[in-house]
Homo-oligomer: A and B are copies of this chain.
Amino acid sequence: MHKLGPTARTKVKRLPKRGHYDRDVVNEVLDAGFICHIGYVIDGQPYVTPTAYWREGGHIYWHGSSASRMLRAQKSGIPVCLTVTHIDGLVMARSAFHHSINYRSVMAFGTASIVDEPKTKEAAMRAFVERLYPGRWDTLRPVNKQEFKATTILGMELTEASAKIRIGNPVDDDEDYALPIWAGVIGLKTLVAGIGDDARLAPGTRKPSHLDSFAEDADFGALLKRYKSS
């Protein structure tokens, strides 16, 4: 399936030309980030929790949150909205009204459930680490039974989602272009600030080569893109 919408709840109504429903576009925005905001409802009250996520093919997985307790009681799954947002720039127009933000976001709707099947869960835990740090999993002290049990991975199928993207210069009212008011775009970037040793490293322990790419001022977005979903 190449289209993930539009559906009644994913259709971008305000500024519809910013909306995208192709699976490839949605995947690209998802794969460019690692923190999402999960929305869920308890007794009519919305909750929004930030957490680490990753995509594997047509599924999204994320690390357990307070929604997990709720899910343990409701094995059939709960409705969630998973939103990912990248801020690329600030857009300054000639009027306050046309100031805007350049961004890429995805809103995905689905039914979250706990990943319980051991093989799937183990693969998900591995991907959780490898997605950020390719090559790291095999260097670590292996996961023990208690840790395996204490880790909650949630997942949902990616079937209904939209991407919303704004790029480029401000769009002003026609008559305002003649005004001597400056307009333009401020770009933003997320970089590696540095990498530091833990204070309690065992003697002789050196930073492994799988982390060489996390050098000061490395483009963090580019590093995230290295992970290839199955």
Known A50-B83, A188-B192; contact A140-B202, beta-carbon cutoff 8 A? no
Q: Which segment of A16-24, A54-62, A94-102 sits at the interface?
A: A94-102
**Interface residue range, chain A:** 35 or more
In Å, the complex CA distance between A92 and B42 comes to 33
> A184-B207, A187-B193, A201-B182 known; A151 and B97 CB under 8 Å?
yes
Copies of this protein chain in the complex: 2
Is there an interface contact between B200 and A92, defined as CB atoms closer than 8 Å?
A: no
CA distance A86 to B188 in the complex (A): 15
Residues of B within 8 A of A199 (CB): 169
A42–B46 Cα distance when bound, in Å, is 10
The residue in chain B whose Cβ has the minimal distance to the Cβ of A199 is B169
Q: Which residues of B contact A25 (CB under 8 A)?
A: none
Is the Cβ of A179 less than 8 Å from the Cβ of B202? Answer: yes
Question: Closest B-chain residue to A45, C-beta based?
Answer: B79
A80: Cβ under 8 A from any B Cβ: yes
Please give the distance in Å from A213's CB to the nearest CB on chain B.
10
Chain A positions 148 through 192: 1 when the CB is less than 8 Å from some CB of chain B, otherwise 0: 001100000000000000000110100011111111111111111
- In the complex with contacts A45-B9, A182-B206, A50-B195 CB distance below 8 A: no
A residues neighboring B (CB under 8 Å): 9, 13-14, 35, 37-42, 44-50, 52, 65-66, 79-83, 85, 87, 89-90, 92, 94-97, 99, 101, 103, 105, 107, 109, 125-126, 128-129, 132-133, 136-137, 139-143, 147, 150-151, 169-170, 172, 176-202, 204-208, 211, 214, 220
Known: A48-B83, A97-B143. 4 other contacts (CB 8 A): A39-B81, A139-B181, A180-B205, A187-B193
